[in-house]
Amino acid sequence: MGTQVESVHTVAYMVGALASACEKNLGKGSHSICSLAGKRFGREAAKGCGQTTDHLEAINILRDALKQRGIVWEFEPFAGEHETAVTTENGKKRIRLVFRTCMVRNALFRYAHEQKESLCFMAHGVFAGALEEILAGTKAELEIIHAGPNACLKELVLEEVS
């Protein structure tokens, strides 16, 4: 078991180092590049997971698909101080999500690298791209409300596209 943990820590450190180098060379432009790359990967990864028009069901489909692939990424709708986790504003659905575990956050802490940078944006892209595949005809974006050491609060913004 120790060898597996050491391997994961080594990979996490390397990924953090790569992200840091990317940001130093590309600046904040690395955020959009990482997000787009993540979206493409997320769409491909979600093919065959099923489709739905129900936004909350789509979140469950994604969570289950990740678990089947051995990826532990605990997230769920979160109302917090609001009456509901889901709101509609300017024709867009907004769903607040709490991310309790995150492999990216763990990698960032291992490298002592800041959150809200390129690796977070890549993970956001993967999440949004997968949901776009599951919710065909819907554009998805994930926005950071709070990033912390124990959990992150994000807002999923969904917009129907014609």
Cα–Cα distance measured from residue 40 to residue 35, given in angstroms and rounded to the nearest whole number: 9
Cα–Cα distance measured from residue 49 to residue 58, given in angstroms and rounded to the nearest whole number: 10
Cα–Cα distance measured from residue 8 to residue 107, given in angstroms and rounded to the nearest whole number: 9
Burial class (CB within 10 angstroms; exposed 0-12, middle 13-18, buried 19+) of 123: buried
Chain centroid to Cα 127, Å, comes to 4
End-to-end CA separation in angstroms for the chain? 50
Q: What is the pLDDT along the chain (162 residues), one digit of tens a residue?
A: 456 656 656 666 666 667 677 667 666 666 777 778 888 888 888 899 999 999 999 999 999 888 887 777 889 999 988 899 999 999 999 999 999 988 777 777 666 666 777 778 888 888 999 999 999 999 999 998 998 888 899 999 999 986
Number of domains in the chain: 1
* Owning domain of residue 151: 2-160
Residues 6+ apart with CB under 8 A from 23: 30, 117, 118
Residue 74: which CATH number? Answer: 3.30.1380.20
